[in-house]
Copies of this chain bind each other. A is one copy, B any other.
Amino acid sequence: MLPEVNLGISFFSLSTNIVPIPHPNPDNFLTFALQNKRNMSYRSHTCGELRIDHVGKNVKLAGWVQKSRDLGGMTFVDLRDRYGITQLVFNMETNAGLCEKARSLGREFVIMIEGEVAERSSKNPDRATGDIEIVVNDLQVFNPSKTPPFTIEDETDGGDELRMKYRYLDIRRSPVQSKLIFRSKLAIETRKHLDSQGFIEVETPFLIKSTPEGARDFVVPSRMNPGEFYALPQSPQTFKQLLMVSGMERYFQIVKCFRDEDLRADRQPEFTQIDCEMAFVEREDVLNTFESLTRHLFKAVINVDLPDFPRMSYDEAIGKYGSDKPDLRFDMPIHPLNETVKNQGFVVFDNAEYVGAISVEGIAEEYSNKDIKKLTDWVQRPQIGAKGLVYIKYQQDGSIKSSIGKFFSDETIKEWLDQLGVKPGDMLLILAGEKDKTLKQLGELRLEMGRRKGYLDSSEFKPLWVVDFPLLEWNDDSQRFYAMHHPFTAPAVEDIEKMESQDREVLKNLKANAYDLVINGAEIGGGSIRIHDRKLQQRNFDLLGFTPEEAEEQFGFLMGAFEYGAPPHGGIAFGFDRLCAVMNHQSSIRDFIAFPKNNMGRDLMIDAPAKIDEEQLKELQIKLDPKVK
């Protein structure tokens, strides 16, 4: 039986309850009904397209009320749709009823109007439609709106949480909407270009198998196979390699991937990759193909001609910039100082494995002792972790001020400065300690000083291929190697024989045929030439601590495939969210995602995740751990 309800005339009285308007057919569904019966479409033009040439034309527009101004005899309404804003004008003298109705319109009401395009007396040169306005002769309200919880303007007063909860309103704001439109453009240009290069987009499955290697998987219990689980893919890696074994030769996909990681500020549990793989290629083929894609995207979408894509080895990037993704919008390289400053009696330098410095232009006079104290605090923060900071100011007058004057003579220091090409007015900042850590700290310090100098405000783009990554990373805690890229990455050709070594130091120094694309210090993508030989793949799993049984259980299908004529192949994946952000000089990916999750992995708008019915758990034959309330 149906529940007892009596809605009376509620559908028809809905908007009248909120905005009483004495109009014959003012309301939501009735309006909609009449509309349909007349079989007319909702608009003749968008709110972004009317110009002076249209003056005198009768038009029909639909959209949202951006704002309205009541100037007594006249009421002006800004009508907004995706395409722009058009000014409407209602005249109390010529049509009082309609003008009254217009006065009652609130922000974000959805309306349709008909009227005549007229030339504006006071034009608005900042708006594409600023030469005209519409003298309205008919107005229909499709839907009223409650007062939005934050202003729907370019600058809003809404906080992050509130904007995520009402994301559908946040997207009405032009800065957010334009980012989503940008993303759509970027995706279609990616597809057009890769299609033109003979790439085939193949959809790989989302319900796959969990593998303990790599990040944590999201899993999906299988009802039809009780006790078993699918996993959501962290990437389509094995499938794209299988597609190469299949002879697809050039594969791509713009695809969602999933990682159940504790979320840092700018991570999302689901993210999007431009995922690619090619057969019969060497590193340079892949690099050139994706340099060409990147150039196309920058030109087609933001009309930027990218400069050269230099190649830099991982070792050089770390040694020179303290990072495997150096921002090359400015140079400020790290100067290794071991040869220069050690064994001269200063215990901090003498005891350090590594001493290095960066030279910052023209700040010697500008930085007070207090500033240096603050900078020292900054490098000593746990996120950076330096023990201390040595500074040397090369004053404009040629004199030296430093924190190590007690240990080195001005002459000695001047010799260093000359050697390093430091000029009067510059300041040298020195860190010392364990080599890897100190280089990383210098890398962070370099970025911070670049930021302070305004070098990061540059609107230019500096791409870079970082190549020759290490194959393996040793982890002291678990006493095993991890793959630096992933377990399918081929070693550098000249290191293949060394894969057989039992010597951990030899293995630590193995190079991978792996590469990253870096733009302005952000990792846009990474890839590698893959192993296509079963024995070599098995050896790599050995090195990563897999027993032969584990390797077979988890990746037997791939190693099996290698026995049926696997071609040489390699590929790359671009972080699509990141690419969107970098092309817009934004640091956060979140606004390029229509419905992002917060740092707890929650969608605040739909309130997910959520509890599910007992019935569902029963069907899946799983139980909640009793500890969970």
Contacts and interface: CB of A to CB of B under 8 A. Distances in A.
B171 A243 contact: yes
B627 A625 contact: no
A249 interface: yes
A108 interface: yes
Given A171-B243, A230-B608, A225 B602 contact: yes
This protein's copies in its complex: 2
Contacts of A8: 500
B565 A223 contact: no
Contact of A565 (B11, B143, B239): B143
A595 B233 CA distance: 14
A606 interface: yes
Interface residues of A, number: 165
A121 interface: no
A64 B242 CA distance: 15
Contact of A493 (B32, B499, B607): B32
Interface string A600-629: 111101111111110010111111110111
Interface stretch (A211-219, A311-319, A340-348, A352-360): A211-219
B621 A622 contact: no
Contact of A64 (B142, B209, B285, B565): B565
A322 B245 CA distance: 47
Contact of A29 (B29, B224, B536, B557): B536
Nearest to A507: B2
A272 interface: yes
Interface in A194-241: 195, 200-210, 212, 216-232, 238-239
A603 B208 contact: yes
A145 interface: yes
Nearest to A239: B595
A581 to B, nearest CB: 15
A294 B283 CA distance: 41
A500 B14 contact: no
User: Which residue, A6, A222, A262, A611, has most C-beta atoms of chain B within 10 A?
Assistant: A222
Interface string A1-12: 111111110110
B205 A206 contact: no
A346 to B, nearest CB: 40
Interface stretch (A183-191, A368-376, A431-439, A462-470): A183-191
A171 B110 contact: no
A200 B110 CA distance: 21
User: Which residue, A8, A167, A619, has most C-beta atoms of chain B within 10 A?
Assistant: A167
B594 A145 contact: no
Contacts of A203: 183, 256, 272, 593-594
A35 interface: yes
A377 interface: no
Given A2-B502, A281-B42, A533-B29, A243 B594 contact: yes
B7 A566 contact: no
A408 to B, nearest CB: 45
Contacts of A406: none
B603 A205 contact: yes
Given A2-B507, A171-B246, A224-B263, 8 more contacts: A5-B542, A33-B494, A41-B285, A110-B565, A171-B243, A219-B220, A225-B601, A557-B607
10 contacts: A11-B499, A14-B534, A64-B565, A172-B246, A188-B195, A192-B192, A207-B608, A209-B609, A216-B619, A622-B624
